[in-house]
Amino acid sequence: MHDLIVVGAGLAGLALAARAQEAGQDVAVIEARSRIGGRSLVHRTASGCYDLGPAWIWPAMQPRVARAAAALGLRLYRQADEGGFVFQDSDGTAQRLPHGFTQEPPSMRIEGGIAALAEGFAARLAPGTIRLGTRVERLVLESDAVGVETGAAALRARRVALALPPRLAATIGFAPALPAASLRQFEAVPTWMAGHAKALAIYDAPVWRASGLSGGAFSRCGPLGEIHDASLPGAAGEAALFGFFAWPAAMRAARRARLEDAVRAQLASLFGPAAGSPRALLIQDWSTDELTATPADAPPLAGHPAYAPLALPAPWRDRVLLSGSESAPEFGGYLEGALAAAEAAAAMNAQHGGGLPAAGVAAGR
């Protein structure tokens, strides 16, 4: 029997698992995907890694991410924003403004891609700790343990941490069943950015800079609503743009066959004809990723939700913790929230006699 089974090898799950194992616990991490990182997903080329999920951190405001990045020796660089900015109106008219659009505080990127954070925590785990390609289907409460059922195996642990969005926790079977009110509560928590999609366009050169543009743009007509330079520092012979879709999930689904053409046409109209012919164009639609989004995540959100810690009801409360970013005590939904949630889960585990130190999960130690 394990001391702790962590369900989900995103940043939250890996941060919690690393700390628990370093405290001497017998830990297993169960991950449905064939890779670690969860929403931290990168596209690799010979030049480096481009972020298809989260890309930005704000170390001045986010102490856990800042500490973890520093402890892992990760190098940060500022989101490129020098040069002119393009504003596209709802009728498609593009206006080139001479000034950049500067984010305040500046958004910072991680050299090597954002997944380096999750990979750093995973590297601290003993070989064999993470089981990939294993989806947890049902939790069974026993007198002194929790049974964790996957398609292929049944595992047991004294405690389980669900390091995933509450909406996905609600899709797991519970025996005895969770009260309907708890399921409704979990289903009501939006998964941050789960309804979104990103486009990544890779070029041989930063063709937008030739016209004095930063690669930054806002559009009221789409398909992309916000575009930024995604070029990797020091990558010779390669440059990139990325954009968030303004078209909501339902519109993207209806226009799927023409989505790439629409993106190419928009990039050309904003940054000039050469921008319409990237070497590669990738679209990562998170709303169709069933290990991130549920159908409830498809409608656009009005803003960042007010997340709050969540707990399972008795008799589950002492045995199963919710520890994904959307259950964090602060910065819910963000990478910082993933580390805050891991920290809080460690504290709860220690409180309930799990032997985990309460502090320092995100200290990168």
Ligand X SMILES: Cc1cc2nc3c(=O)[nH]c(=O)nc-3n(C[C@H](O)[C@H](O)[C@H](O)COP(=O)(O)OP(=O)(O)OC[C@H]3O[C@@H](n4cnc5c(N)ncnc54)[C@H](O)[C@@H]3O)c2cc1C
Interface residues toward ligand X, by CB under 6 A: 7-13, 30-33, 38-40, 53-56, 135-136, 163-165, 168, 172, 192-193, 196, 198, 286, 291-292, 324-325, 333-335, 337-338
Pick between residue 31 and residue 119 the one whose CB is nearest to ligand X.
31
Closest separation in Å from C-beta 126 to ligand X: 19
Pick between residue 9 and residue 259 the one whose CB is nearest to ligand X.
9
| CA-to-CA separations, 292 to 99, 149, 218, 298, in angstroms, rounded | 37, 20, 26, 11
Question: Is residue 165 within 8 Å of residue 292, measured between CB atoms?
Answer: yes
Closest separation in Å from C-beta 36 to ligand X: 7
Please state the φ and ψ torsions of residue 305, each to the nearest 5 degrees: -65, 155
Pick between residue 3 and residue 326 the one whose CB is nearest to ligand X.
326
Closest separation in Å from C-beta 55 to ligand X: 5
Pick between residue 207 and residue 340 the one whose CB is nearest to ligand X.
340
Question: Is residue 76 within 8 Å of residue 68, measured between CB atoms?
Answer: no
Burial of 265 (0-12, 13-18, 19+ CB in 10 A): middle
In whole angstroms, give the CA distance from residue 160 to residue 322.
Answer: 9
Closest separation in Å from C-beta 205 to ligand X: 26
Torsion of CA 330, 227, 37, 65, to 10 degrees: -40
Contacts of 181 (CB under 8 A, 6+ apart): none
Pick between residue 161 and residue 213 the one whose CB is nearest to ligand X.
161
Closest separation in Å from C-beta 332 to ligand X: 8
Closest separation in Å from C-beta 322 to ligand X: 10
Pick between residue 26 and residue 226 the one whose CB is nearest to ligand X.
226
What's the CA angle centered on 223, arms 215 and 35, to 5 degrees? Answer: 80
Closest separation in Å from C-beta 237 to ligand X: 27
Please state the φ and ψ torsions of residue 189, each to the nearest 5 degrees: -90, 110
Pick between residue 115 and residue 207 the one whose CB is nearest to ligand X.
115
Check whether the bond before 223 is cis (ω within 30° of 0).
yes
Closest separation in Å from C-beta 96 to ligand X: 26
In whole angstroms, give the CA distance from residue 241 to residue 206.
Answer: 9
Which of the 8 DSSP states describes residue 10? Answer: B
Pick between residue 92 and residue 173 the one whose CB is nearest to ligand X.
173
Q: What is the torsional sign of CA 159, 192, 332, 17?
A: positive
Please state the φ and ψ torsions of residue 147, each to the nearest 5 degrees: -85, 135
